[in-house]
Amino acid sequence: MTPVAALGAALAVETLKLRRSVVARLATLLLVVLVPLASVGAVALARSPRAVGATAAKLTAYATGDLATTHLMVCAQVLSVATLFAAGFFLAWSFGRELESGTAGALFGLAVPRGTIALAKCLVALAWIAGCTILAVAVSMAVSAVVTASSGAPFAGAWAGARTALVAGLLGGGLALPFAWVATVTRSQLGTVGGLIGVVALTQMVVLLGGGSWFPYAAPSLWTGMGGADAAAAVGPPHLLVAAAVAPLAVAAVVHAWRRLTDV
Amino acid sequence: MTALLLDDVSHTFGTRVALAHLTLGVRPGRVTALIGLNGAGKTTALRALAGRLRPAHGVARVLGHDPAGLPADVAARFGQVVDTPLVHQELTVTENLVCAARLHGEPGRAAAPRASAAVGRMGLEPWRHARARSLSMGNRQRLGIACATLHRPTALILDEPTSALDPQGVVIVRELVRELADDGAAVLVSSHHLDEVARIADEIVVLHAGRDVGRLEPGGTDLEQRFFAMVLDADTRAVTDAGSRS
């Protein structure tokens, strides 16, 4: 069996598992339906006379500016975090449950090596989260097009916002890959989810201390404007490249860990 | 050539000795049964042989290779069920078998016929489209054994393969194991079921406190009696040795 054939077999198996996964089905639904609704709904609420007090203060950034651009800006901000959580939960399940349930032990002595299976899990997760991101942005644009058409507002600004949303969503998904390694090391799905929540909390602290742009988990969200215009301007291609580099490094680490897996 | 080999293998979990200088080999065409009380070291020995555990001392070999990193062409001739089988609860019986066939190296177009044949062979037709999570423990065990054997391995390890099976399932597994061995496969089986072992094995290795304490002939009606006599003798010798050292 050639390495390419082995990867093909592993991809077929892992794709089937993803299609049958309750975690993946729920996450797909949430990303493709809730993100567009949140994007358009948050802007509508911000521009509604009913938004007063704390709500109005929190949504100030969405209250003015081009309507379609703002829809897609919110979409990018939500996606940058939502894809991290969705992919993180899926990877916790995909890797952690094999080790928790003991099926990882059955993956020994197969013609398809364990490292190839781990690589396939990562690639399938990335492809799935990329598909969800594209769908979420496409649905957001469609809903935005309907809203702008009905209010007579221009739609042209949506395209640049869509590009930002796609990049933010993909970066968020890629940043989840280290949790495949966490699941492998901890051999625990809940432990991995705990690690994911811990990293999100740490990101908040890093941003509060002003070190966000070089912190991979903060850079995509800041770039989308979640921390304000000044923080967004401080994030450039080098910062985003650092965030993008996390995924391949994590894949290499998790493949290595699965090759060396023992005591299962 | 010895197809399955443990050579002077020792391992401890903390201070507890799991295996002590165990040497064991299975030749092609032979079924060797590993029997012993709970905690005797049977599963640890099988895990070491499957590459799932790196023993602290000694060597494990499957078809002449380190089981932790079998070359693809060698792995395609190996099968194992130790503890949890290659069965994913969210997949159907057929899907699990197709996945197992692919992971054992079968090309995509050959996987479905292999899966279908395995369903028939293991008596799983009524549950062909059922999710694995909905199966009884016995049918799940049948499915696990099917997943490990549908590629007709020439080296096979089975840990307690009949522990949850009904009499019909026991016969199916017994016939499968004998058929594979008759085709030249080396099979190592662990079991508590001495009657079953007597029917299936060419050789019986008694493991006690991590040590190989002797071999039993499969024939005869007094296997249980001979097993306990051997275990008692091993315990007596251990006490005597400890006394003479102190």
The 10s digit of each residue's pLDDT in A8-28 is 999 999 999 999 999 999 999
* Listed range (A113-117, A224-228, B5-9, B173-177) with the worst mean pLDDT: A224-228
Chain B: residues touching A (Cβ < 8 Å): 47, 50-54, 62, 67-70, 72-73, 75-76, 78-91, 95, 99, 102-105, 107-108, 144, 147-148
What percentage of chain A reaches a pLDDT higher than 90?
Answer: 84
Mutate to test the interface with B, among A97, A108, A255 (most CBs of B within 10 A): A108
Sheet holding B211-216, edge to edge: B78-81, B155-159, B186-191, B31-35, B203-208, B211-216
Question: How high is the pLDDT of residue A106?
Answer: 97
**B19, B47, B52: best mutation site toward chain A, by most A Cβ within 10 Å?**
B52
Query: What does the pLDDT look like over A233-264, one tens digit per residue?
Result: 999 999 999 999 999 999 999 999 999 999 99
Q: Which amino acid makes up residue A41?
A: G
Residue A213 or A88, more confident = A88
> How many angstroms away from the CA of B163 is the closest CA of chain A?
18
Question: A82, A88 in Cβ contact below 8 A?
Answer: no
Tell which residue, B181, B178, B166, B183, has the closest CA to residue B124: B166
How far the first Cα of chain A sits from its last, in Å, is: 25
- Nearest residue in A to B49, CA atom: A109
Residue with tokens 């496969």: B185
CATH of the domain at B166: 3.40.50.300
Which candidate in B19, B84, B151 is best for mutational testing of the A interface (most A CBs within 10 A)? B84
Integer angstrom CA distances of residue B201 from A10, B171, B218: 35, 14, 6
Same domain, B58 and B167: yes
Among residues B95, B118, B152, which one ends one of the domains?
A: B152
What's the confidence (pLDDT) of residue B197?
85
Looking at CA atoms only, how far is residue B200 from chain A in angstroms? 24
Q: Which of A67-76, A102-111, A193-202, B189-198 has the lowest mean pLDDT?
A: B189-198
ipTM of the complex model: 0.92
Domain co-membership, B113 together with B141: yes
| B57/B172 same-domain check | yes
Boundary residue ending a domain (B120, B152, B184): B152
What one-letter code names the amino acid at A192?
Answer: T
Task: Residue B99: give the domain boundaries.
Answer: 82-152
As a whole number, mean pLDDT of residues A194-219 equals 93
Domain end (from B104, B120, B152)? B152
Residues B170 and B58 in one domain: yes
% of chain B surpassing 90 pLDDT: 84
Using pLDDT thresholds of 50, 70 and 90, give the confidence band for residue A49. Answer: confident
Contacts of B84 in chain A (CB under 8 A): 101-103, 105-106
Higher pLDDT: A117 or B218? It is A117
pLDDT at A156: 86
Res A27: pLDDT? 97
Interface size between A and B, measured as CB pairs under 8 A: 100
CA torsion through residues A62, A65, A70, A74, sign:
negative
Q: How far is A172 from chain B (nearest CA, A)?
A: 27
Contact B84 A20 (CB under 8 A): no
Distance CA A60, CA A52 (A): 10
Cα angle B117, B118, B123; round to 5? 105
Determine the distance in angstroms separating the CA of B70 from the nearest CA of chain A, rounded to an integer: 6
- Burial pattern A75-100, b for ≥16 Cβ within 10 A else e, equals bbbbbbbbbbbbbbbbbbbbbbbbbb
Is residue B231 included in any domain, yes or no?
Answer: no
Whether B52 and A263 lie within 8 Å, measured CB to CB: yes
- Kindly state whether residue B181 falls inside one of the protein's structural domains: yes
Residue boundaries of the structural domains of chain A: 3-259
pLDDT digits (tens, 9 = 90+) for B96-149: 999 999 999 999 899 999 999 999 999 999 999 999 999 999 999 999 999 999
Q: Is B2 left (phi over 0), alpha (psi -120 to 50) or beta?
A: beta
Select from B179, B124, B171 the least CA-distant residue to B149: B179
In this structure, the answer to whether residues B104 and B127 fall within a common structural domain is yes
Q: B59 and B160 share a domain?
A: yes
Same domain? For B57 and B170 the reply is yes
- Confidence at A57, pLDDT banded by 50, 70, 90: confident
Q: Do A103 and B70 touch (CB under 8 A)?
A: no
pLDDT bin (cut points 50, 70, 90) of residue A76 is: very high
Taking chain B (246 residues) in runs of 10, the rounded mean pLDDT of each run is 95 94 96 93 96 96 96 96 95 98 94 96 96 96 97 96 92 95 96 85 94 89 88 89 77
| Domain assignment of residue B120, yes or no | yes
- What pLDDT is recorded for position B241? 82
Is residue B73 situated within a structural domain? no
Residue B72 lies in a domain: no
Q: Do B58 and B161 sit in the same domain of this protein?
A: yes
pLDDT of residue B221: 75
Residues B214 and B185 in one domain: yes
- Say how many domains are in chain B: 2
State whether B86 and A106 contact (CB < 8 Å): yes
Q: Are residues B146 and B95 in the same domain?
A: yes
